[in-house]
A and B are shown apart, each in its own frame.
Chain A
Amino acid sequence: MAGGLAIETRGLSKHFGQQAAVDRVDLAVPHGTVFGFLGPNGSGKTTTIRMLLGLAAPSAGTVNLLGQEMPDKLHDVLPRVGALVEGPAFYPFLSGAANLHRLDSASPHTVPATRKARVQQALERVGLEHAAGKRVHAYSLGMKQRLGIANALLSPRDLLVLDEPTNGLDPQGTREVRNLVRSLAHQGTTVFVSSHLLAEVDQMCTHAAVMSVGKLVAQGPLAELRQAGSMRLRLVTPDAGAARQVLAGLGLVPGPGQSEPRAQPDGETVVAVLHTGTRRPSVLPEDVVAHLVQAGVRVRGFAVERESLEDRFVALTGEGFDVAQ
């Protein structure tokens, strides 16, 4: 299994009536990675996770978890998988520790003799040891979230599936989760984290996939995804007309800056896309400057901008608050 995939789906689809919530998704999550699963609300992330864990049956396609087919091998695979699915859920009338005891005893694969110690350890790991005896009813959302993560860590796991793990956490808690994920990954656990927060994925993941309206629109190592973005140059000049001619001559498509007012006292902003995707740029930025100077274009400002992951994300999934239908 070395070098294999921790999660592999082929043509994974889920239809609710006419609507395809998940549409032919081919996920490939390598072992030992921290894999970010990005997408706006309603893009099909949670439905995908439900199918990965055997909670929902796919309309089409297959799921392979840790080298075994799901849901046929569910009882062999799931003991090795810790999960936080669509937010934490607990018995409000039981204490935090009692909740973990309950969920741990649900699996016939866990060892009752070590249960108490494992519950204690998991609670300590998420910093809840002081609230262990308190009813979950009295927990804040952040505490419930921590308890949910503790539940995922009750046994040693080869794969963690965390759906929005930092939801409801304060910045301090968010950082703790990030460190926790890193340390788990360091021990060899594959971590699959879904999120609609880019910064989060940017900071803790090695790989990522992006969902949009039920479809997988990109996946791969984070560095590659970043590079897949475009590179732009931004030029501020009083001689905008001449500059455009030079840029056009180099095969670039110049346009006005989007956000700035067009006529500024110290010149106009011209923006041009140098290249998109992983293709090598047809012309290097330094050569562009040389050509501009040769043509007598006065340059006040010149910058090369690489798209942030956020720009990529928005480019891949669309902008605004419209929840994908």
Chain B
Amino acid sequence: MPQAAQTARAAGAPRSSGLSLLGSELKVLFGRRRTWALLLALAAIPVLIAVAVKVSSAVPPGRGPAFLDRITQNGLFVAFTAMLVSVPLFMPLAVGVVAGDTIAGEASLGTLRYLLVAPAGRVRLLLVKYAGALAFCIVAPLTVGLAGAAIGAALFPVGPVTLLSGGVVQPAEAALRIVLIAAYLAVSLAGLSAIGLFLSTLTVVPVGAMAATVVVSVVTEVADQLPQLDWLHPWLFSHYWLGFGDLLRQPVAWDSFASNALLQAGYMAVFGALAYGRFVTKDILS
């Protein structure tokens, strides 16, 4: 019996490292227009803030989001303001779209069956999909921060930044703090991504999974505001989202970073396990 495929493999051609799929996933994710549109929309937030501050008269201190009144003196504050403003809604919205699309998007296109028949392996595919969503969680806050720094530098003077603790750091150090905050936000969004991944294994309608992820995020944030649910607050994945102020102290206070990372790791474990349990046994009928 001619076993072409078997002999071809027996000939000992080098196998791929298995990272090909991750490379392909990142290429598809960051190559598609939708991802660019999301990132552009996020980048528009600091631009909008900077332009609004520039054309309006001086902002009275204590009005509007934190840092807003400092922008005219120092353009780097555009980045801090924009990141702060985008955390409650815009970030979860963008992450919800990407994480909700992970499995359901492939299922609705029908490509899921071809990936699995390739065979990609269900666990491997799930891990790669989550890795892709995490990559977006890293890129999204970074986009806001860097766009903010850029537009701020273009429209306003840039100088030493006065931190929340009262100390003063040079612009280069301040830029580093912007990256640090972006990393904090990336970690913050990891838990929500895991929830999105799980929801995405439940349906073949990507919009459903996206909307559900965003709704979960909004409900959680509302719950975090209710004093009646005090006992629940430390367990909500959004609890530390706005806690990155600690990174603007001298020296940097890492407490909330650590608590946040631990909490997000817990969400990743729980919803990762749920997604695994669901996806590995799922009948792919789309």
Binding site for B on A (CB under 8 A): 1-4, 31-32, 50, 53-57, 74-75, 78-81, 83, 85-94, 101-114, 151, 155-158, 187-189
Contact = CB atoms under 8 A, between A and B. Distances in A.
Interface of B: 1-6, 8-9, 13-18, 20-21, 23-24, 28, 31-33, 109-111, 113-121, 124-125, 281, 283-285
Contacts of A107: 118-120
11 contacts: A32-B2, A50-B285, A55-B113, A57-B283, A80-B6, A83-B117, A105-B23, A106-B125, A112-B16, A156-B4, A188-B4
Contact of B115 (A79, A103, A157): A103
A140 to B, nearest CB: 17
A108 B124 contact: yes
B114 A55 contact: no
Given A83-B117, A108-B20, A111-B16, A56 B283 contact: yes
Contacts, number: 131
A113 B20 CA distance: 11
Contacts of B119: 54, 74-75, 78-79, 106-107
A79 B14 contact: no
B138 to A, nearest CB: 22
Secondary structure dominating the interface of A: loop
B16 A87 contact: no
A57 B116 CA distance: 13
B284 A50 contact: yes
Nearest to A154: B118
B1 A54 contact: no
B63 to A, nearest CB: 44
A158 B5 contact: yes
Contact of A157 (B4, B110, B125): B4
Interface centre among B13, B16, B114, B285 (most CB of A within 10 A): B114
Given A1-B1, A108-B16, A111-B16, A89 B114 contact: yes
A222 B281 CA distance: 37
B128 to A, nearest CB: 9
Contacts of B32: 93
A85 B113 CA distance: 8
Interface centre among A57, A80, A113 (most CB of B within 10 A): A80
B4 A187 contact: yes
B15 A106 contact: no
B111 A109 contact: no
B281 to A, nearest CB: 7
B110 A89 contact: yes
Contacts of B16: 105, 108-112
B1 A108 contact: no
Given A50-B113, A85-B117, 12 more contacts: A55-B284, A86-B113, A89-B113, A90-B111, A103-B114, A106-B120, A108-B16, A108-B18, A110-B16, A111-B15, A158-B3, A158-B5
A75 B281 CA distance: 16
